[in-house]
Amino acid sequence: MFPFPTFPEAASSIASSIDLLYLFLVGISLLMSALIFLCIFYFAIKYRRGSRADRSGIRHHSLAIELVWSGIPLLSFLVMFFWGAWLFYDAYTPPDDALQIYVVGKQWMWKIQHPEGRREINQLHVPVGQSIKLTMTSEDVIHDFFIPAFRVKKDVLPSRYTSLWFRATKTGSYHLFCAQYCGTNHSAMIGQVVVMEPAEYQMWLAGGPPAESMAQAGAKLFERYNCNTCHVGGGRGPLLADLFGSTVALENGQIVVVDEAYVRESILLSAAKVVAGYQPIMPAFQGQISETGVLQLIAYIQSLGGDSDSAQP
Cβ pair 182, 189 in contact under 8 A:
yes
Other CB atoms closer than 10 Å to residue 82's CB: what's the count?
Answer: 10
CATH of the domain at 113: 2.60.40.420
Which candidate, 262, 243, 250, 261, places its Cα nearest to that of 308? 243
Cα distances (Å, whole numbers) of residue 60 to 65, 66, 240: 11, 11, 73
- In a shared domain, residues 103 and 197: yes
C-alpha neighbours within 13 Å on the C-beta side of residue 166: 28
| Rg of the chain, C-alpha, whole Å | 27
Cβ neighbours of 115 (radius 10 Å): 17
Predicted pLDDT at 26: 92
What is the pLDDT at residue 254?
87
Query: Distance (Å, rounded) from C-alpha 247 to C-alpha 239?
Result: 13
Residue 118 lies inside a defined structural domain of this protein: yes
Q: How confident is the model at residue 313, as a pLDDT?
A: 35
User: What amino acid is encoded at 287 in this protein?
Assistant: G
Please tell me whether residues 83 and 138 are part of one structural domain. no
Whether 105 and 201 share a structural domain: yes
- The phi, psi pair for 134, rounded to 5°, reads -105, 125
Shared domain for 171 and 109, answered yes or no, is yes
Given the DSSP bridges, would you call strands 99-106 and 131-138 parallel, antiparallel or unpaired?
parallel
Picking from 157, 176, 206, the residue at the C-terminal end of a domain is 206
Q: What is the CA 85 to chain-centroid distance, rounded?
A: 16
Tell me how many domains the chain contains: 3
Residue 303 and residue 259 in one domain = yes
- Are residues 231 and 301 located together in one domain of the fold? yes
CATH number, residue 292: 1.10.760.10
181 lies in a domain? yes
- The string of pLDDT tens digits covering residues 225-263 is 888 888 877 678 888 888 888 888 888 888 989 888 888
Statement to judge: residues 191 and 108 lie in one domain: yes
Q: pLDDT tens digits for 43-74?
A: 888 888 877 877 777 767 778 888 888 888 89
The residue out of 175, 206, 237 marking a domain boundary is: 206
Name 255's Cβ contacts closer than 8 Å, sequence gap at least 6.
247, 248, 249
Residue bearing the bigger pLDDT, 55 or 183? 183
Predicted local confidence at residue 25, as pLDDT: 92
Give yes or no: residues 128 and 196 share one domain.
yes
Q: Is residue 51 part of a domain?
A: no
Predicted local distance difference test score (pLDDT) of residue 234: 63
Are 106 and 195 in a shared domain? yes
Say which amino acid occupies 303: S
pLDDT tops 60 at residue 219:
yes
3-state secondary structure the chain: CCCCCCCCCCCECCHHHHHHHHHHHHHHHHHHHHHHHHHHHHHHHHCCCCCCCCCCCCCCCCHHHHHHHHHHHHHHHHHHHHHHHHHHHHHCCCCCCCEEEEEEEECCEEEEECCCCCEEECEEEEECCCEEEEEEEECCCCEEEEEHHHCEEEEECECCCEEEEEEECCCEEEEEEECCCCCCCHHHCEEEEEEECHHHHHHHHHCCCCCCCHHHHHHHHHHHCCCHHHHCCCCCCCCCCCCECCEEEECCCCEEECCHHHHHHHHHCCCCCCECCCCCCCCCCCCCCCHHHHHHHHHHHHHCCECHHHCCC
End-to-end Cα distance, the chain: 32
Handedness of CA 208, 210, 211, 212 (dihedral sign): positive
Last residue in a domain, options 91, 110, 127: 91
Q: Which domain holds residue 279?
A: 221-310
Residue 202 CA, chain-centre distance (Å), reads 25
Q: Both 133 and 76 in a single domain? A: no
Higher pLDDT, 136 or 206: 136
What is the C-alpha to C-alpha distance for residues 63 and 243, in angstroms, rounded to an integer?
A: 63
| Better-predicted residue by pLDDT, 7 or 143 | 143
Tell me, yes or no, whether 156 and 235 share the same domain.
no
Q: In terms of Cα–Cα distance, which of 261, 312, 257, 259 is closest to 291?
A: 261
